[in-house]
Copies of this chain bind each other. A is one copy, B any other.
Amino acid sequence: MVRSGRYTRLNVYLLILSVLQLNLHTVEGVWPLPQAFTSSTERYPLNPQAFYFGYGRQSAAQQGCSVLDSAFRRYFSLIFPDYTDGRLHFSQYKPFTVEVSIDHDDCEGYPNEDSSERYNLSVSAGQASLKAETVWGALRGLETFSQLVYQNDFAYYRTLLMLNFPRFQFRGILLDTSRHYLPVQAILKTLDAMAYSKFNVFHWHIVDDPSFPYQSSSFPDLSSKGAFHPMTHIYTQSDVRRVISHARLWGIRVLPEFDSPGHTTSWGKGQPGLLTPCYNGGTPSGTFGPVNPALPSTYQFMARLFKEVSSVFPDSYIHLGGDEVDFSCWKSNPDVRAFMQKMGFGSDFTKLEAFYMENIVNITSALNKTSIVWQDVFDYHERRSSLSVVEVWREGCYLCEVRRVAKAGLRVILASPWYLDLPGPTHNWARYYTVWPLAFKGTEEQKKLVIGGEVCMWGEYVDATNLSPRLWPRASAAAERLWSDEKQTSNVDKAFPRLQDFRCKLLRRGIQAEPLYVGHCKHEYQGV
């Protein structure tokens, strides 16, 4: 947390706001709820023919800033969805300008773990002023502004003062493109919708047992033999770049997961010798288990693969998986057993797993990547200090696990309560809303180690046909939990009409967000 103390100007501003009388629940339709704001009740019309985005004179970013220039274009369309040049004529118009000022010019960079997303927004007659430390904060502010003025047929604004920043730095959505292939379009559309709820991490669970759609330049056989189809069901390097570039313009990090040593069946097809041959009695059974941890060639392969992956994905984080390793195949294999003997692991296969994971972690550390692992690795690992970030995913007392990880001094991402792919009452969004990630006994320092949470959309029963309605608006419930102040957003009944309103906004933006209950939106989803 290197940010503390640097932005005292904003903190003073927060203080001023907190002594003003806040009418937090009267401003409809900003989701997730901003941290602090006050606004007028009057509304003033906005005219698309006299509406401008611009850069403040003092701003470190100026015209030519790719992130903001393209955001201005996008948000103009989002604010005025019906506008087509020349069709609307207003006899009288007062110009309105949104002036954006940025402290640091990070226009051509990528959002990262330390990127500030703070901004303050002040809207007065004829003008809005949006100030942020980074372009990523400005993107969040533009989203908020678009939600504030977005009033169906005609656009209105209110005057207001707002200070906003996320409660958690890491607010992710996992998509699984191995159990079902998701066309690139479906991923891009999900990124759009993520930005509307201020999610900032796309965790791309790109490969797994069923298929290997990532087209590796170093190991092209992985996808040509391991994908569902070598031409139509793969992500080329250009597809991946397109996803990363699209995500960047929304201020979203793309965090790839190459899960091993388990969940790797599809890898074996294009990389003979990588997986452990399972034995039946004294002979190979013809089936394969997890990655073979006993062979030097495994680590040579992994080093080359992760070197490629590290250069393709610019984010400083990488997810190494490590979950659900089945030891039975390792146990059956005489070479693996001999390796255990040699390494002095006895018959404790968790030691073998830890050995493997430590090697993979070291490979990625050498590539300057921070690794995330699933909680299994933390649970089995003896030398936990080599780990960095642990993602908690198991059911049960997940906060107990969060506490254990934080006590060990490691960073935590919470996923357990947000498995949105799971069958269940689909309308029960409140279940994803009433999650309290810090409700465990621990010091302030330990709680700061909880860097955020993640919505997981596993692919067993999900593909492009049902991805959007299954994600939205339920994932938005999690988004508010991860962005907003917990005290201001603990009441489900107060959140319900706001979420209904937000869901209508999603529809208006073409996101196939399913209904929360009986009712209607002014603009229903038409895209059938």
Contacts and interface: CB of A to CB of B under 8 A. Distances in A.
Nearest to A180: B515
Contacts of A312: none
A514 B514 CA distance: 15
A468 B468 contact: no
B520 A181 contact: yes
Nearest to A513: B465
Given A423-B427, A528-B189, A520 B465 contact: no
A464 B507 CA distance: 10
A423 B426 CA distance: 6
A383 B440 CA distance: 64
A525 B189 CA distance: 14
Interface stretch (A22-30, A97-105, A225-233, A354-362): A225-233
A424 interface: yes
Given A183-B528, A425-B423, A522 B229 contact: yes
A325 interface: no
A180 B520 contact: yes
Contacts of A211: 520
A463 B514 contact: yes
A125 to B, nearest CB: 32
A419 B460 CA distance: 23
Interface in A445-481: 459-466, 468-469
Contacts of A423: 424-428
Interface centre among A181, A464, A465 (most CB of B within 10 A): A465
Interface residues of A, number: 45
A86 interface: no
Interface string A400-432: 000000000000000000000001111110000
Contacts of A525: 183, 463-465
Interface in A469-528: 469, 507, 512-520, 522, 524-528
A517 B180 CA distance: 9
A263 interface: no
Contacts of A179: 518
A233 B465 contact: no
A81 interface: no
A370 B527 CA distance: 36
A314 interface: no
A186 B527 CA distance: 9
A274 B123 CA distance: 50
A512 B466 contact: yes
A334 interface: no
Contacts of A527: 527
A466 B474 CA distance: 13
A239 to B, nearest CB: 14
A163 B40 CA distance: 73
A381 to B, nearest CB: 30
